[in-house]
Amino acid sequence: MSIDTLEDLYIEQLKDIYSANKQALDVTKEMAKAASDTDLSDALRAGADGIQDGITAIEKISEGHDESPNGEHCKGMEGLVKEARAHAIEETFGEEATKDAMIITQYQRLTHYAIAGYGCLAAFADRLELDNDLSALKTCLDASYDGDRTMTALATGGINKSAVA
């Protein structure tokens, strides 16, 4: 596919965020199981639910454009997922709180990718006057910001402090 117009770019980026979400979903569930802090585990399960909601939203948006959301493999998220597995799941930690701090770090990296993707897509949808798409994308963007804020609150609320000991 040649990317000649903003609409072409929009469709290509829908596929990218769809691929990114599909890859992030599994590793987020794995981190939820690996977390020792109950609040962190719960937040990661909620994050996985939010990622699934994003996948569903992108499927609906794509259908509205007679497009499949498949066909793109997000190499950026592939790298982030590889890093999350290596550093948060497979790594050996002396303290559970230190592992939880690393899980937060890795999840926030995944989330920041989603924030960038949804933010760009929302800007494209706005310019293309795709009001229904824009509304759905803003919901996904807001959920991603909320997930990021939740992780920051958990980190600064006690997990990082526990990891110092």
Q: What are the tens digits of pLDDT across the range 31-47?
A: 999 999 999 999 999 99
pLDDT of 163 > 90? The answer is no
What's the mean pLDDT when you consider all of the chain? Answer: 95
Q: How far is CA 103 from CA 9, 67, 159, in A?
A: 33, 35, 11
Taking the domains of the chain in order of start, what are their residue ranges? 6-164
Distance in angstroms (rounded) separating the CA atoms of residues 155 and 161: 8
Banded model confidence at residue 165, pLDDT cuts 50, 70, 90: low
Which tokens go with 150?
């939740």
Tens digit of each residue's pLDDT (9 = 90 or more) over 151-160: 999 999 888 8
Note the pLDDT of residue 160. Answer: 80
How far is the C-alpha of 122 from the C-alpha of 133, rounded, in Å? Answer: 8
Average pLDDT over residues 22-33: 98
Residue 85: count other Cβ atoms within 10 Å of its Cβ.
Answer: 17
* C-alpha triplet 66, 27, 136: angle, nearest 5°: 35
pLDDT digits (tens, 9 = 90+) for 33-90: 999 999 999 999 999 999 999 999 999 999 999 999 998 999 999 999 999 999 999 9
Structural contact between residues 64 and 10, judged by C-beta atoms closer than 8 angstroms: no
Superfamily of domain 6-164: Ferritin, core subunit, four-helix bundle (1.20.1260.10)
